Amino acid sequence: MTYDVVVIGAGPAGMSAAIQLRKAGIAVAAVDEQAAPGGQIWRGVERNAGPVSAALGADYQKGATLVEAFRDSGAEYLPATQVWQIEEGWNLFLTSEGKARRIKARAVLLANGAQERPVPFPGWTLPGVMTVGAAQILLKSGGMLPEGEVWIAGAGPLPLLYATQVLGLEGRIAGFLDTSKRPGLAALSSLPGAWRDIPGLLKGVRWLWDLKRSGRMVRGFSDLHAEGEGRLQHLQWRAGNEQRKVRADVLLVHEGVVPRIHETMALGCVHDWNSDQNYFSARLDQWGETSRPGLFVAGDAGGIGGWLAATLSGEIAALGIARYLGGSPDADSLRREAGLDERLSRARALRPFLDALYPPPAEHLADEVVVCRCEEVTAGQIRAVAKVSAPDPNAVKAATRCGMGPCQGRQCGYTVQALVAEVHGLPLADVSFFNIRPPLKPVTLGEIAALGDLEEA
């Protein structure tokens, strides 16, 4: 099957782009891993109602309108489908219901969003420790709340939002270990821009206030340990000269989100380093096109901006794709008339403030902490190898198997990069990332073997 455009991801950016592309009469397939449209932010929005929907808040409910427009857009929607390989030209290899197949496209839009930044610390691999994002998936998927002594540790808008949602559903949070920095000069100096998004800012204040009122808020601590026999039982941290220990059944961690880059990395696109938030993202032109002609990126996958910015960058990329395919000579004027750039800059106004308030964590990693969960490689092993290798994470990968497991370095990539930089005394920006090897998602030998009799299906 050949489409004009294949959009990967049916979240805010992918849905907005698909709708826009259909308006221009372009044949679109939208492939998504989830069973229903909405992405992470609006997961389950068509199904959730009543108190769960109310607790998830106004921004969540806004998703229903876009999902409906997407359903009506005429885009061919392929839910519960994984894209495990993209080859230039463009061939996309998909799996759904245990069957692999190939589709073709003249252009591809990656709107596959972000992932939580993995931050290893002692005990992070214990059962009972999970990410806030994973907990929120459970909440959106079936209104499930964590039980027992529930602690949250981290920084960024998501833990606050999640805590507020839990409290709104009469859940209980035993405590919140806030790892964010006090708003310093850098954050304050970016406020004039931030104030253009007053509703966004007020919401943040309300979350904080709700949380302080309802539970324990811990600030200015260090040396967090999760401990327990076979599963999480206690948390320990140091506050000043004092060692604190509390009982804990669940610890939810979150240190911000970073773009998904495995797809663009695997395709050898040019990437830039974001030194405010310590992540790579594909270099995009003003239409969202990468260094590979015909490959576009929109939404958080191209740099973290939140859902509103994602919808707008999706619309811009759709115009760019129409222009690329030769069907839209008036893309520039459409972009101007819709005021997309002004709206996008308004949607991003709070970002410099958030970046300054929630810098990526930089705590020293103890040698005994496991960095690669798949292959159980510790920070100490990585440092030892990095010392005798060229400053390249791939040399560490080859020598330690770190990043060779099923997650393909999604969990350890940035940590290995940081350790290599530390050992060689280099700035992070000067150290590269793992070479990304296909498949992007695990696929079985049987599925690949069946590709041998592949015809244009």
Binding stretches for another protein (CB under 8 A): 85, 87, 93, 102, 268, 388-392, 394-395, 398-399, 401, 404-406, 408, 437-439, 442-446, 448-452, 454
Q: Are strands 279-282 and 271-274 parallel, antiparallel or unpaired?
A: antiparallel
> What is the closest distance, in whole angstroms, from the C-beta atom of residue 105 to another protein in the complex?
16
> What is the closest distance, in whole angstroms, from the C-beta atom of residue 233 to another protein in the complex?
29
> What is the closest distance, in whole angstroms, from the C-beta atom of residue 271 to another protein in the complex?
15
- Kindly give, in sequence order, each residue whose CB lies less than 8 Å from that of residue 229, ignoring residues fewer than 6 positions away: none
Q: Which is nearer to another protein, 286 or 444 (CB)?
A: 444
> What is the closest distance, in whole angstroms, from the C-beta atom of residue 82 to another protein in the complex?
12
> What is the closest distance, in whole angstroms, from the C-beta atom of residue 424 to another protein in the complex?
11
User: 3-class SS at 191?
Assistant: helix
The DSSP 8-state label assigned to residue 196 in this structure reads G
Q: What gap in Å lies between CA 116 and CA 172, rounded to an integer?
A: 23
CB 71 within 8 A of CB 42: no
Q: What gap in Å lies between CA 88 and CA 104, rounded to an integer?
A: 10
CB 61 within 8 A of CB 107: no
* Burial of 179 (C-beta count, 10 Å sphere; 0-12/13-18/19+): buried
Q: What gap in Å lies between CA 433 and CA 417, rounded to an integer?
A: 6
> What is the closest distance, in whole angstroms, from the C-beta atom of residue 368 to another protein in the complex?
22
Q: Which is nearer to another protein, 338 or 398 (CB)?
A: 398
> What is the closest distance, in whole angstroms, from the C-beta atom of residue 87 to another protein in the complex?
7
Q: Which is nearer to another protein, 346 or 401 (CB)?
A: 401
> What is the closest distance, in whole angstroms, from the C-beta atom of residue 372 to another protein in the complex?
13
Q: Which is nearer to another protein, 287 or 434 (CB)?
A: 434
Q: Which is nearer to another protein, 207 or 434 (CB)?
A: 434
> What is the closest distance, in whole angstroms, from the C-beta atom of residue 360 to another protein in the complex?
26
Q: Which is nearer to another protein, 93 or 121 (CB)?
A: 93
Q: Which is nearer to another protein, 168 or 405 (CB)?
A: 405
Q: Which of 215, 233, 123 is nearest to 177 (CA)?
A: 215
Q: What gap in Å lies between CA 310 and CA 107, rounded to an integer?
A: 19
> What is the closest distance, in whole angstroms, from the C-beta atom of residue 410 to another protein in the complex?
12
Residues pairing with 2 in the sheet: 104
The DSSP 8-state label assigned to residue 183 in this structure reads -
CB 209 within 8 A of CB 250: no
Give how far Cα 235 sits from Cα of 4, 166, 245, 377, 400, Å.
Answer: 53, 21, 6, 23, 30
CA 399 to chain centre: 29
Q: Which is nearer to another protein, 8 or 250 (CB)?
A: 8
Backbone angles phi, psi at 120, to 5 degrees: -70, 145
Q: Which is nearer to another protein, 16 or 389 (CB)?
A: 389
What is the signed CA dihedral for 236, 239, 240, 242, rounded to 10 degrees? -50
The DSSP 8-state label assigned to residue 379 in this structure reads H
Q: Which is nearer to another protein, 176 or 434 (CB)?
A: 434
